[in-house]
Homo-oligomer: A and B are copies of this chain.
Amino acid sequence: MVTMRDVAQRAGVSIATVSFVLNDTKPVTAATRAKIEQAMAELGFRRNVVARALASRRTHIIAMAYPALDHKFGFSAAEFFTSAADAARKQDYHLVLWPVGNDGSELTELVGQGLVDGVVLMEVQLDDPRVSVLRETGTPFAMIGRTSALEGLSHVDIDFDQTVEDAVEYVYGLGHRRLALISGNLNDPLFSTYGPYVRSEAAYRRIAPQYGIETVVMESSGSTLAGQEAMARLVRDHPETTAVLIVNEFAALGAVSGLNRLGRRIPEDISVLPLLMAPEMAALTNPELTIMRTPGPELGQLGTEALIRQLEGADPLPPQLVPAKLHPGATTAPPPS
């Protein structure tokens, strides 16, 4: 292994000076810098990040805490992760995907080891126990999602109000007057405080009346099967519905196949518009889904940047809400006349 000592020796300087040019932490004359850079190149030097971490008390590793037990890791999650990883890399950080339980104990374990400088929290619950853990241990963190009490917590999230408003406006504009929102199962303790369900539903209950639309909300767990079952209930209880807005992306796939199975043609008889979905997933159905596209790339990046700013002591990034945007497909059309 080539060390800074080797570089310093070859360049005829001290290792401190090598460190200064490597990190750009102190002014160094152009001549000295050139000698050092040449030596580094000739020797193929790569700074040992472990030694740097120990000496600087900064590992430059960020953990993305993903509650894989409660949430499937699908295309949307992958989008968040890869954009966050890219953002981290651009700022000389490593992003580690960390599958953790939701109770915070694994997180305690992780941060106690001193491996990570900070944590990006995915799939935040309204009263997330992981937040307490991170606060108590004094670990810097940023949330993708929001707890209900924010108190200056660094976060970015989907703009559910705007997303629901845009979705309603879109289908209303197509001529639909009989809508249904399929939200989550708020009786399931795991999801009763899950932001996307709670906030989408609240937004819908507020916005639908503004359009003079009767507020029909049904619930569904986050699986294909549950989505199919929800459609059976919908067709039975609200056969007049011409457009379905649906929060969970797995349930949305089930909604499509469920409606097909029930003999409802999409979009001729009924339109389907998921409120949060990744394009890769939308391409899996036939017809391809019109979706509100989850802003995973934006939020992954913003969440990571928010955290890195904290770590670097820069001005904090103000909380940002990003709406899902309409991504055209073939599952929406004017209602049957």
Q: How large is the interface on A (under 10, 10 to 19, 20 to 34, 35 or more residues)?
A: 35 or more
List of B residues within 8 angstroms of A283 by Cβ:
223-225
| Oligomer: number of copies | 2
User: Would you give the 0/1 interface string for A84-98, flagging 1 where the beta carbon is closer than 8 Å to chain B?
Assistant: 010000000010110
CA distance A285 to B250 in the complex (A): 11
A75 in the interface, Cβ–Cβ < 8 Å? yes
A257 in the interface, Cβ–Cβ < 8 Å? yes
Which of B50, B253, B284 is the one whose CB lies under 8 Å from A53? B50
List of B residues within 8 angstroms of A150 by Cβ:
none
A331 in the interface, Cβ–Cβ < 8 Å? no
A314 in the interface, Cβ–Cβ < 8 Å? no
When A75-B74, A82-B73 are in contact, do A46 and B112 touch as well, CB less than 8 Å? yes
Name the CB-closest residue of B to A53.
B50
User: Would you give the 0/1 interface string for A30-61, flagging 1 where the beta carbon is closer than 8 Å to chain B?
Assistant: 00000000000000001111110110000100
Query: Shortest distance in angstroms between A214's beta carbon and chain B's nearest beta carbon?
Result: 29
When A96-B94, A258-B286 are in contact, do A78 and B85 touch as well, CB less than 8 Å? no
List of B residues within 8 angstroms of A257 by Cβ:
285-286
List of B residues within 8 angstroms of A72 by Cβ:
75, 78, 280
CA distance A59 to B50 in the complex (A): 8
CA distance A74 to B73 in the complex (A): 8
CA distance A329 to B225 in the complex (A): 14
Q: Is the CB of A48 within 8 A of B114?
A: yes
User: Would you give the 0/1 interface string for A176-198, flagging 1 where the beta carbon is closer than 8 Å to chain B?
Assistant: 00000000000000000000000
List of B residues within 8 angstroms of A225 by Cβ:
283
User: Would you give the 0/1 interface string for A245-262, flagging 1 where the beta carbon is closer than 8 Å to chain B?
Assistant: 000001001100110110
A217 in the interface, Cβ–Cβ < 8 Å? no
Which of B49, B109, B286 is the one whose CB lies under 8 Å from A114? B49
CA distance A260 to B286 in the complex (A): 9
CA distance A261 to B288 in the complex (A): 12
CA distance A250 to B281 in the complex (A): 10
* Pairs across A and B, CB under 8 Å, 23 listed: A46-B109, A46-B113, A47-B113, A50-B50, A50-B53, A50-B54, A50-B114, A54-B54, A74-B74, A74-B280, A82-B99, A94-B96, A94-B115, A96-B96, A97-B97, A224-B283, A224-B284, A225-B283, A250-B284, A253-B284, A254-B286, A260-B286, A261-B286
